[in-house]
Amino acid sequence: MHQMDFFQNSVYYTVSAIAHRSLCKDCLMNKLLFFIISVLYICIVPFTFCLPYDVETKFQYALKSIGRDWLDYDQCDRRCKWVYGNSLTITGTRLHIHECECYNKLQLIGIIKRDNDYDPPVMPKTACCGADGINYPTQEAACTNGTYALHGGYCGACSSHEDINIFNITRNNMTSISTKCAVKYVLFGKNSATKCMTNTAALSVECTECWVENMGCDAAQCLTLCAIDRILHVNNTKPDGSLNDCLACDEGYCGKPFIVCAGANRRRSGITSDIDRPQDTIWKRYAC
């Protein structure tokens, strides 16, 4: 177990060091490496997925299975659960570069597209999550029922004082914590990212799951944009106040599944975070 951690951390820090340009002075090597990896990623991965099944050789078949398991980041599983209901018996595997096969137990129930739709979440105006874990239409309704609103929007897996308190404490470093754990997702898979989040953020098990699923979604939907932004040390927000490409991709393609799962995020809990933009409205609790 510890050897595995040591190995994973070694690989993580080596990759980070390369990404952070600390291994070379003029960074030509890094740019070259990044270029080679990009070419491999852009050319080989689609190629292996685009081969028709009937002409595939054993080699092509092997590449395809690697691509399915390694480069899917559990996206098909999440997509199938999203489309067919988040049941424990629904699973998905990658069929093609843009397609997933969905199963209920072992029964094939459909083939769906792998990419999420662009659908950024909007804060519902007529919902808040009460401290008793019940959704209320307004803060007043929560107050008249003898409780108070914990956060804006519907309740979810992070709708607890404990998790919201952690969002508050880590408001200035959660983006870097979760980026680090997301890199572990890309390199070593979901379990590694879960462990990373548990050790560094210590959110509840259910809330951690939402964050880790979001990392898998980012890896599947936004990997190239996020790798570029990370390597170039791009700020979270652009000068005009909009999100950088990576965070904008996350919000547009992965934000909705995340907020449905988590319920509470920083903004909905009234916490100003490291990714806030001037035009954002931060939810406010009024005393009752």
Ligand X SMILES: *[C@@H]1O[C@H](CO)[C@@H](O)[C@H](O)[C@H]1NC(C)=O
* Nearer residue to ligand X within complex by CB, 95 or 158: 158
Cα–Cα distance for residue pair 91/105, rounded to 1 Å? 7
Cα–Cα distance for residue pair 90/78, rounded to 1 Å? 9
* Nearer residue to ligand X within complex by CB, 12 or 73: 12
Q: Which residue type is seen at 249?
A: C
Count of alpha carbons within 13 angstroms of residue 71, beta-carbon side: 20
* Smallest distance from ligand X to CB 114, Å: 32
* Smallest distance from ligand X to CB 168, Å: 4
Cα–Cα distance for residue pair 78/115, rounded to 1 Å? 11
* Burial category of 21 from C-beta neighbours within 10 Å (exposed 0-12, middle 13-18, buried 19 and up): middle
- Output the CA angle 206-207-209, nearest 5 degrees: 65
* Smallest distance from ligand X to CB 128, Å: 11
Residues forming contacts to ligand X in the complex (CB under 6 A) are: 134, 136, 141, 145, 168-170, 173, 177, 200, 235, 239, 269-271
* Smallest distance from ligand X to CB 197, Å: 10
* Smallest distance from ligand X to CB 145, Å: 4
* Smallest distance from ligand X to CB 155, Å: 11
* Nearer residue to ligand X within complex by CB, 74 or 163: 163
Cα–Cα distance for residue pair 167/101, rounded to 1 Å? 36
* Nearer residue to ligand X within complex by CB, 44 or 134: 134
Return all residues near 94 (Cβ < 8 A) that are at least 6 apart. Answer: 49, 67, 68, 71, 72, 75, 76, 100, 101, 114
Cα end-to-end distance, the chain, whole Å: 50
* Smallest distance from ligand X to CB 24, Å: 21
* Nearer residue to ligand X within complex by CB, 83 or 127: 127
* Nearer residue to ligand X within complex by CB, 170 or 221: 170
DSSP at 281 = P
Residue 193's nearest CA partner among 213, 174, 217, 207 is: 213
* Nearer residue to ligand X within complex by CB, 220 or 243: 243
* Nearer residue to ligand X within complex by CB, 93 or 198: 198
* Smallest distance from ligand X to CB 136, Å: 6
Strands of 107-113's sheet in order across: 90-96, 99-104, 107-113
